[in-house]
Structures are given as C-alpha cells and as structure tokens.
Amino acid sequence: MDPASTTRVYDRAGFGRPVERGSRPAVVVVDFSYGFTDPQYPTGADMSGPVLATARLLEAARAGGVPVVFTTIAYDAGQLRSLAWLKKATGMAALELGSRLVDVDERLAPRTDEHLVVKTGASAFFGTALASYLASVRADTVIVTGATTSGCVRATVVDAVQYGYPTLVPRDCVADRALAPHEASLFDINEKYGDVVDLDDVLAYLQALPATAGAAQSVPAAVQRPGSPAPEHQSTIPSQAEAPA
C-alpha cells in the first residue's frame, strides 16, 4: 500500500487527530545517554543532530520555567543476570550502573535541579515515579524527545497518553539506529498516541505560554518530597515484554 493510501485508511478509521495542548508542559528527554548517542559503543549511533536540536528545546524550556526530566537505562549486577529483556536484547547489558554509557550526554547540559529517572524498561513510566513527579509539578502536557524512536521513545509516548497527558514529539529531537523503524514509529505515534511536529512548532508553543505557566515554578525539580520515593535506581518489577530500545 502506498503512503497516500495508508493515510486515507487511518483517516477513515478516525486516527491522526491533533492533541489538545495544555498550558503547563513538561519535557521528558528519553535515554540521550552516551550508550545511545556515542557511536563508539555497539548500542550507540551518531545522534548529534537530534541531541543538538534537543539542546535548543531545553534552552527554551528552561527559560520559561518548564520542568525538564531526563531518563537513563542502567542495570546493577543482579539485574544483568536475571532480566528477561536482557536475554532478548543482550547488547543492553552494557548499560551498567556507574559506567559512562548511562551518563546523560553533556551536550544537553543536565542541571542538578532537573529530575533524573533511572529505569530498567523501555517506558520512562514503567516501574518509576515519573507519573507522580509530573503530577507534583502539575504538568498537563508532555513533550518527549530522545532515543530510540522505535523503542523507549515510543513506549514512553504510549504510556504518557495512557496516563492522560497530551503528548508532543518534535521529530527533529528523536533518533534511532536505523531509518525504517524511526519513520514507521513516527507514523504510528502521530496516528494513535501524540502529535509528531517540527521543533519550531514546539518552540513557538513554549514561547507563547503565559509567563507563569511553567509547571516547575511551584515545586523545584529533583527535590525529594516528604513521603515520596527516593530517586529511582531500578524497577522492582522487571518487565517481561517491553520492546527493545
């Protein structure tokens, strides 16, 4: 089926409608760690373009007081021997806690007051407190960037909409190891789960927010609240079916 026919089929089925953007967005940067962005590692690829585009997005978000969340995948020694996902995607076992591979790419200049989610599954929501954090900063829209488009980005977008968040994916700010799964996943996301848009669209959206709209203004990022869980270092219930990143 040619692309035009595919689009007509999805349109007839009622897919591809635009999401309703809120006034308190948060940015979730998925797994732009060196294990994905540095091509010297077998799990990595040259993602310089999307990383630098995300840096532009973060500059605008920070200027507007919009919360920024980073995620990274990292495993301890016990998990390396036991998790089902690592038996399927064996290369992911290189992402060990404490190694450079799990450090967020310095080109994104992560700040100490920005929340870091350490995860063991594809989705940034699975087995983590991300949903609670987004609620605590009163976010009503999620902007997802990162890697890989066909794995952890897609899984995070699916969970974001299932948690009730309208979701934007700036196509300039996501990356994959190969073009075919990247393009297929962007099509799937745009038709079913969120809006795949240009970076300039997202920048204009952020710039048009009311001066007090930044959800981070009332609750500082990365500050542990009374009764809240400590920053995540591993999932206590490992997924048996998360798609490979």
Three-state DSSP at 243 gives coil
Q: How far is CA 228 from CA 18, 27, 132, 178, 223, in A?
A: 34, 21, 9, 39, 10
Spell 183-204 as b/e; 16+ CB within 10 A means b. eebbbbbbbebbbbbebeebbe
Q: What does the alpha-carbon distance between residue 79 and residue 47 come to, in Å, rounded to a whole number?
A: 27
Are 93 and 64 in contact by the 8 Å Cβ rule? The answer is: no
- Asked about 152 being catalytic, the answer comes back as yes
Are 186 and 148 in contact by the 8 Å Cβ rule? The answer is: no
Q: What does the alpha-carbon distance between residue 126 and residue 172 come to, in Å, rounded to a whole number?
A: 25
Amino acid of residue 220: P
Q: Which of 101, 124, 139, 152 is catalytic?
A: 152
The residues annotated with a catalytic role in the active site are 152
